[in-house]
Amino acid sequence: MAGKFELYKDKAGEFRFRLKAGNGQIILASEGYKQRASAENGIESVRKNSAEDARFDRTETKGGKHRFNLKATNGQVIGTSESYESASSRDNGIASVKKNAPGAKLEDLT
């Protein structure tokens, strides 16, 4: 099964999206957007920027977990991963975003 983007509204009424892998696991989540069009632009930015490894900012939390942010060309964060136990698991998450994002369909849950 292919990956997909889910567009939804959070409890505060903001639009958000998440990218899910073919197995249903969330591999990237967005910030909140006031406008639907902004969230849709964010999805397009993920599709475009996920092809470039340099756009992935690999970090470690204070608790020693590993995560990543996907950044646009202007340096703005467009998506954040969950926390992973190991750097190799984080790197697998990045590989999954690279594989799934470009062709992922959009499911509108609003």
pLDDT at position 2 is 79
Residue 16, pLDDT score:
98
Mean predicted lDDT score pLDDT of the chain: 95
Give me 32's structure tokens.
Answer: 């909140």
pLDDT of residue 89: 96
pTM for the whole structure? 0.91
Mean pLDDT of 91-99: 96
Q: Which two three-digit tokens encode residue 79?
A: 């998506």
Are the C-beta atoms of 70 and 52 separated by less than 8 Å? no
pLDDT tens digits, one per residue of 24-63:
999 999 999 999 999 999 999 999 999 999 999 999 999 9
pLDDT confidence of residue 1: 62
